[in-house]
Amino acid sequence: MRARTTAMALMLSCAATVADGSSGCGTFATHVTYGTGDCPSSVAIDDLNGDGNRDLAVTNRHSNTVSILLNRGDGTFTIHVTYDVGNEPLSVAAEDLDDDDDVDLAVANFHSSHVSILLNRGDGTFEAQVTLDVGVCPSSVVIGDLDGDADTDLAVANYYSNTVSILLNHGNGTFTPHVTWGGGGDCPWSIAMGDIDGDGACDLATTNSWSCCDTVSVLLNGGCANFPEHLTYEAPLNPLSVAIADLDGDGDADLAVARQFGGSSVLVFLNRGDGTFAAPVTFGPGSGAFSLAIEDLDGDGDRDLAVAEQDGGISILLNEGDATFAQPTTWCVGMFPVSVAIEDLDGDGDRDLAVACSDSDSVSILLNQCPSVCPGDLDDDSDIDQNDLGILLACYEIDDGGDVDSDGDTDENDLGILLAHYGTTCD
């Protein structure tokens, strides 16, 4: 997939698709690139060293490593530090796996047919990998509580064995042997987790790709991490990435799928409310989508789409509020972007982008250009002071009354943002 010459030629046309001086919520500053290992394949964002800032973990497909880039607090990053994982890592997920309040990593290693677990020492450095057997050629891994015991479990898409592996957490970052479930389609490439049928249990969705069957499968959790039921939907022209979120504001979890070919490369499947889906609706951009992520990018409360395209661009599709999307705007990044993740990277309260670019051996950072806000001014008096801190602490881990970063929770990330701006007066 490393067609460097072709990617460079296509990338030259990307710059012309973005108007100079674009600004406002959901528009982005010129990308800044940071080196990674050889052929980065996936990027995850979380606070890895406990300082309240969002850091990066990037899998490097050809150097068989994961790179850690620590955030300096302003959306700039340190030089990457690498850790060995398995052969051809394709996917990384970040979450606390051993219940020590540090963020750990799980990595799917395609040619090793196992998952690497890297436990955090608490400071953003990691223990040597522990490997767990899964199916043949795992291509994607997600983390969440699948059996309802409050521990974080693993779900892995196994490309060549046409299965999904479930590994249940013992509560300390060690796992049961994997149990496999048929995914409903051949060659599952991407996997996502969310409550699709509204029963409170985490369900799964996979894309079944690379000309094997061109479908999306939904695996409904029957309780205790059992997946006896699956539904399959047509998703033609090589679907490579799936994400789950409420796109039309009705409280149900919908699907967005990026496909590599076809005139419009995003398919949106709206949930009927019972875990089944209406026929997909297509939206731009053009062909060549490899990855997508969902978040509110323009601050209007609706979930928008960021799509990584093989021509060196990231397309932003802003939600009109009803799961219809405006015409895409495209922002240049490095060569051959294959993975995109969304989080607030510079602590200003809006969502930024991190993009793994395989042919430039780098990750691109695009900072959102929302107008200056006053992150942490919870009482709207233009000062960030003890009154705001009191509001946040009263809501801490209870409700969203102190939700500075607009992720639906009042937690340590909100506290970190408020304290970083404590004592300031807003313009």
Sorted by sequence, the CB contacts under 8 Å of residue 245 that are 6+ apart come out as 194, 253, 254, 256, 294, 303
Which has the closest alpha carbon to 245: 317, 314, 179? 317
Largest CA distance in the chain: 58
Instruction: Identify which of 290, 349, 297, 352 has the alpha carbon closest to the alpha carbon of residue 325.
Output: 297
Report pLDDT digits (tens) over 21-54. 355 789 999 999 999 999 999 999 999 999 999 9
Give the tens place of pLDDT for each residue, 319-365: 999 999 999 999 999 999 999 999 999 999 899 999 999 999 999 99
The encoded tokens of residue 387 equal: 């009154």
pLDDT score of 211 = 66
pLDDT at 372: 62
pLDDT at 423 over 80: yes
Q: Which residue has the tokens 């196994």?
A: 158
CA angle 369, 375, 377 (to 5 degrees): 140
Return the top range by mean pLDDT from 113-117, 235-239, 263-267, 409-413: 113-117
Instruction: Determine the Cα–Cα distance for residues 334 and 327; give it in Å rounded to an integer.
Output: 22
CA distance 52 to 44: 16
Instruction: Report the candidate in 151, 146, 152 with the shortest Cα–Cα distance to residue 164.
Output: 146
Which pLDDT does position 13 carry in this prediction? Answer: 35
Planar angle of CA 376, 380, 383, nearest 5 degrees: 60
Q: What is the pLDDT of residues 178-220, one digit of tens each?
A: 999 987 688 999 999 999 999 999 999 999 997 678 999 999 9
Burial class of residue 186, CB neighbours in 10 A (0-12, 13-18, 19+): middle
d(CA 308, CA 276): 27
In eight-state DSSP terms, residue 360 is: G
Q: Which two tokens stand for residue 255?
A: 């699907």
Band of pLDDT at residue 420, cut at 50, 70 and 90 = confident
Q: pTM for this one?
A: 0.87
- Tell me the average pLDDT of the chain: 91
CB 11 within 8 A of CB 310: no
For residue 401, give every residue at least 6 positions away whose Cβ sits within 8 Å of its Cβ, in sequence order, or none: 378, 391, 392, 394, 395, 410
CA distance 129 to 173: 12
| Nearest-5° Cα angle at 1, 260 to 232 | 35
The terminus-to-terminus CA distance of the chain in angstroms comes to 48
For residue 399, what pLDDT band results from cuts at 50, 70 and 90?
confident
Q: What is the C-alpha to C-alpha distance for residues 250 and 407, in angstroms, rounded to an integer?
A: 18
Q: Which residue has the higher pLDDT, 423 or 304?
A: 304
* DSSP 8-class letter at 363: E
